[in-house]
Amino acid sequence: MQDPSAHPFPATKRETLPGTAHTAPGSGLLFLREDELRLAQDMLFFAHRDLTEAPDAILGELGYGRAHHRCLHWIARRPGLTVGDLLAILGITKQSLTRVLGPLIREGYVAQVPGAQDRRQRLLTLTEKGATLERRLFEAQRERLVAAYREAGGPAVEGFKRVLRGLMQQQGRDYLDGQDAHRGKGQRSGA
């Protein structure tokens, strides 16, 4: 078990240190004070910084950044994604997407083909080169996620997911609900 005195952020009465018993999600959080909300912001900042550190280094070697990573991630998650859907997910302008997607297409990471029903649609998929890069970026974050989930334990992970969902706007929630429904259908049909 870790030495609590060595922990960089001492536990408050409403949180637990790694390796200690977890209480039920939300217990004791009836009154959220500003300092607790600011601590949450601090933690989100550090978590995001540390989670993106390894992929940022990989992308930097290629002259890419986080926007490229986001495109690769979503195209990998939804092969055949339309440009319009990618715009909606990322919440950026067409001009911004063109600056990011253009190099990925030109350098052979992403392929685009016209839609079967609507030839004006551009459907996006990763090429083999793109899938290899996206997998490398995912693997750079995977172990950090696995370690954090294992340390927190199942109930804390479920609570964390509820907090993340609560931070999302409705569009993100709707997307995840659609993915859950799609996965459920695949499981029932034996896929």
Among residues of the chain, what percentage have pLDDT more than 90?
66
CB 129 within 8 A of CB 122: no
Name the pTM for this structure.
0.76
Please report the pLDDT score of residue 14 as a whole number. 45
CB 111 within 8 A of CB 127: yes
- Greater confidence (18 vs 63) lies with 63
| pLDDT tens profile 143-189 | 999 999 999 999 999 999 999 999 999 999 998 888 877 676 655 44
Please report the pLDDT score of residue 121 as a whole number. 86
Please report the pLDDT score of residue 33 as a whole number. 87
Instruction: Name the token pair of 168.
Output: 């999302």
Please report the pLDDT score of residue 2 as a whole number. 46
Which helix (H) or strand (E) segment holds residue 115: the answer is: none
- Greater confidence (118 vs 20) lies with 118
Among residues of the chain, what percentage have pLDDT more than 70?
79
Q: How many residues does the chain have?
A: 191
Q: Which residues of 95-130 are buried (b: 16+ CB within 10 A; e: fewer)?
A: eebeebbeebbeeebbbeeeeeeeeebbbbbbeeeb
